[in-house]
Amino acid sequence: MKLIKRIVISIGILILIVFLFFGLKLGTKYYKSYQNSESLTNTILDSKISAEDYNNSYNIKNGAIISKKIINLSEIPPIWNSISENNSLTKNYKYLDNINFYVILYKSDSLLVNGIIAEPKKEGKFPVVIFNRGGNKEVGKMAKAKTLHSLIQSASKLADQDYLVIASCYRENDEFGGNDIKDVLNLTETIKTINKADSSRIGMFGWSRGGMMTYLSLKNSNLIKTAVIGNGPSDLGKLIIERPEMERLVCAKLIPKYKENKSEELKKRSVAYWADELDKSASLLILCGTEDKQVNPNQAHIIADKLTKINYDFKLEKVKTDHKFSNKKNELNTLLINWFKEKL
């Protein structure tokens, strides 16, 4: 009996340790998120959409800009802390001095949606790259901060190479590839109103969920001359089998009528089922991190096989790295710049 009692106590202690470990980890994550949110208060990213903004939007077209405000990166604590040291840009980010960043508010359907622009400070007309970030469910100032951070980390080198980069923060009622795709497509109209943008040369770059948004854009628009997709899902049905939490925390929560039409809704967002509907005048670079634990590298192979069968103009580039290309940032930048220089 004493032995059994000791075993029971030991198991109880182990369960308590595991519970405390994961509880602390989760608590730390949410506390950090809370800190970031609080540090954005009263910054340019904290501005709210007003009744006047809506009044000004009634008689204007989709894509029209309601407001455009310059962003001083040093005044956005969670962003600035990640790219600076001793209140100056670090060596790796010094090139950001050559770029102006803006937060915009533009019309998309009957909604007003936020976006981020990164453009060269120099004068000129520049080809445009629409950047589609990953992630989901972010709203308000956190959505703007996430989009700005993602753009800086993944696409800002393009702005330093004389491209104008623009990104949607996506509507707050996120449908994960539903009506929110219109927020991306309407940027092709926004671009026409930006002085430094060459609206005849539009490319697109999407990462993770943004890759799905890019596939959907190539299906629904013929204005995208070329696109790059990094670790984007091509078959959500297979993805949720490999990562059940994606279904529970994302698909089931965000996709309208998911329970009633699960198979149909997943296929609508999965390029593997409609690859032949992609704009055939466009070209595509697919970047695949072979050690990606979030989107199985097989997802890139699935769409590559489909595109090969229809003779689509594409290239699959496999790199030994993780979902974020964490240890391959320079290689990523080189791949992006070379592709857009050749194709756009």
Q: Return per-residue pLDDT of the chain as tens, 344 residues.
A: 556 666 656 665 666 564 545 444 434 343 344 446 788 898 999 999 999 999 989 999 999 999 999 999 999 999 999 999 999 999 999 999 999 999 999 999 999 999 999 999 999 999 999 999 999 878 889 999 999 999 999 999 999 999 999 999 999 999 999 999 999 999 999 999 999 999 999 999 999 999 999 999 999 999 999 999 999 999 999 999 999 999 999 999 999 999 999 999 999 999 999 999 999 999 999 999 999 999 999 999 999 999 999 999 999 999 999 999 999 999 999 999 999 999 99
What CATH number does residue 107 fall under?
3.40.50.1820
* DSSP code at position 58: T
Judge whether 44 lies within some domain: no
CB 54 within 8 A of CB 112: yes
| CB neighbour list of residue 200: distance below 8 Å, 6 or more residues apart | none
| Residue 138 shares a structural domain with residue 81 | yes
Q: Which two tokens stand for residue 278?
A: 């992609």
Helix (H) or strand (E) holding 224, with range, is none
Compute φ and ψ for 172, nearest 5 degrees. -70, -30
Please report how many Cα atoms fall inside a 13 Å half-sphere around the Cα of residue 54, on the Cβ side.
Answer: 6
Clarify whether residues 5 and 71 are in a common domain: no
Domain check: are 274 and 161 in the same one?
A: yes
Say whether both 30 and 89 belong to one domain: no
Q: Are residues 69 and 180 in the same domain?
A: yes
Domain that holds residue 32: 1-39
pTM, full prediction: 0.90
Question: Are the CB atoms for 251 and 315 separated by under 8 Å?
Answer: no
CA count, 13 A, side-chain hemisphere, 51: 0
Do residues 212 and 244 make contact, with C-beta atoms less than 8 angstroms apart? no
Nearest Cα neighbor of 162 from 72, 89, 95 is 95
